Amino acid sequence: MHAYIYARFSTLEQAKGSSLERQIADCRALCDKQQWEWSPDRELKDEGRSAFDGANRAEGSALATFERDALDDKLPPNTVLVVERLDRISRQSAVQVLNFVTRLTDRGVTIATVDGERIYRRDGFDFMNLIELLLKAQVAFEESEKKSQRLAVAWAKKRERAASGDKRALTRRCPAWITVDDVTGEYTLREERAAIVRRIFSLATSGQGKHLIARTLNKEGVPAWGRGEGWHASYIQKILRSRATVGELQPHRKIGGKRITEGEPLPNYYPAVIDEGLFSRAQADRQSRTGMSGRRGKRISNLFAGIAKCGACGSRMTFRNKGAVGEQYLVCDAGLRGRSCGFTVHFNYPAMEAAVIERTLHLALDERHFAAPMEVRKLENELAEHSRQLAELEGRKRRLIDLLSRIDDLEVEDQVRQIGVEASAIKSIIKNTEGKLISARGVTSPKENIARIRRLLTAMRSEDEMECAIARGTVQQALRSLIRSITCEPESQIVLVDLGEIEFCLDRHGVLQSEGSREPGLSRLLELRERGWVMTKYKDHPALGKRRR
């Protein structure tokens, strides 16, 4: 018989004990006694997977892979699955356990348990074996169900305690930069790790993406925590998205092996590493990078990623670098791939970048892109908190409206109206705070702002990889906050840069052709038409008449 040994435990805390080793040792002993062939490469382990909610049989588990191989007839003849007890396979209902066992035995797989040295075969089931199997399965199921109910009640009480302001830890399982004080039982910061989290957010708000942040920390030899070696972009992203960094806990529970949210978030549960303002700025910067095509290189080669579009088909303009000087250009991605656009006109990227920066950088770079003074930071924190409150109210309102669509309840209607009143008040506060913030950001003198911009431009040309990347990231974020669109017209071979109030036009080599206010703007368009430069986006303008080709 070819023996496969299966071992499992439910919680990762059990990994600190000897449960897994004991199960495997007992199963090996049974194999030796029965003279079944076993080997370490046929030992299947599911660590931290519950058999009560079926997680140990979900996709990706060792048992699910074994079951699929059995059903697909990929296992060798005379295979036996050896487990410590039947409940290591499943603690679900007796019917579900019986279905699992019969599915495997029908495929010729024998199941053996160390407990009682029971052996279940396709042709070996008698009435007593069947009754025993069902009884064991039902007892295990009822034990797990009672335990689950007790845990649910206990956790509900813990959450109520936390919501009332009790600072004692619900569990020792917490974010990696936090630990539990053995004396007070409260969460405290691990300062050496908290400093790294603050650094990650600082890098993110300076324009660096998750890949560049991970590379920066690894290059500097900053110690990583967790199982992985070094810092990974995926973990950087997880930290940047986590509201635990501002002290918030979102309770969860497992249903069917899946982790789902339960109840409202609990603010001020963990000690905060950063403030709401910094967290909100990091999210805004992350969202602003959404839609940027491709993974950014070490120096962020294309500052116009996600902004520049083809005027003929609307597709993104993709960046190409042939390596030689003057061989960096933008070209329509759809045209390049022979899809919906027939144009492959090359627009000189270095010349475009220089021209756009020259005409816009002094407008784009404001206080947000440099160290904010204390007044600005205070207002940003207030704005972030009010925005969070508004988002929560709108979320509650959506849920209540959904409830009203299914039931007719006057109390729910009153709650919806009350939320509307509260939301209107918060919107007024947000508008007022935004006005104060605009005023507060104008504290820097023009001379100092020019000096800062010059330093930034110098850093963009630095041979130091990190200095250059950070500077270009800052400029990219600034340009994205100012420029509405960059339209590259392949027919007329011009570039229209739209700043909202004003816009300017370059040829494909970055030479300025015209500049002016966006409204009325018609005289400039008529002038361009006379010169044969009519943009696709204006083809239906009534004052232009038939479009020139």
| 167-289 fold | Hect, E3 ligase catalytic domain fold (3.90.1750)
| Region 304-313 average pLDDT | 89
Mean of the per-residue pLDDT values of the chain = 78
Classify 513 as helix, strand or coil: strand
pTM above 0.95, yes or no: no
**Are 277 and 377 contacting, i.e. CB atoms less than 8 angstroms apart?**
yes
- The per-residue pLDDT for 159 is 65
For 18, 271, 365, 392, 441, the CA distances from 379, given in Å and listed in that order, are 54, 22, 19, 20, 10
Q: Is 270 exposed, middle or buried (0-12, 13-18, 19+ CB in 10 A)?
A: buried
- How many C-alpha atoms does 325 have within 13 Å on its Cβ side? 0
* More confidently predicted of 52 and 372: 52
* More confidently predicted of 445 and 443: 445
| Region 84-100 average pLDDT | 81
* More confidently predicted of 164 and 204: 204
Q: Give the model's confidence band at 38: pLDDT under 50 very low, under 70 low, under 90 confident, else very high.
A: very high
DSSP 316: B
Largest CA distance in the chain: 97
Whole-number percent of the chain with pLDDT over 90:
15
Give the list of residues 6+ apart from residue 10 with CB closer than 8 angstroms, or none: 48, 49, 50, 51, 52
55-71 pLDDT, tens digit each: 767 777 888 899 899 88
153-162 pLDDT, tens digit each: 666 666 666 6
104-154 pLDDT, tens digit each: 888 888 988 888 888 888 776 665 666 777 777 777 777 766 776 676 666
Q: Alpha-carbon dihedral of residues 339, 341, 347, 350, nearest 10 degrees?
A: -40
Q: Give the model's confidence band at 542: pLDDT under 50 very low, under 70 low, under 90 confident, else very high.
A: very low
- Among 60-64, 225-229, 248-252, 433-437, name the most confident range: 60-64
- The per-residue pLDDT for 3 is 92
- The per-residue pLDDT for 80 is 92
Give the list of residues 6+ apart from residue 128 with CB closer than 8 angstroms, or none: none
283-292 pLDDT, tens digit each: 877 766 554 4
- The per-residue pLDDT for 527 is 54
| 2-145 fold | Rossmann fold (3.40.50)
For 166, 360, 529, the CA distances from 502, given in Å and listed in that order, are 55, 11, 19
Residue with tokens 């509405």: 484
- The per-residue pLDDT for 543 is 42
For 196, 199, 375, 460, the CA distances from 214, given in Å and listed in that order, are 11, 11, 31, 20
| Region 300-322 average pLDDT | 88
* More confidently predicted of 329 and 467: 329
Comparing C-alpha atoms, which of 455, 439, 437 is closest to residue 447?
Answer: 455
Q: What counts of helices (H) and strands (E) characterise the chain? A: 15, 17
Alpha-carbon gap, residue 304 to 480, rounded angstroms = 8
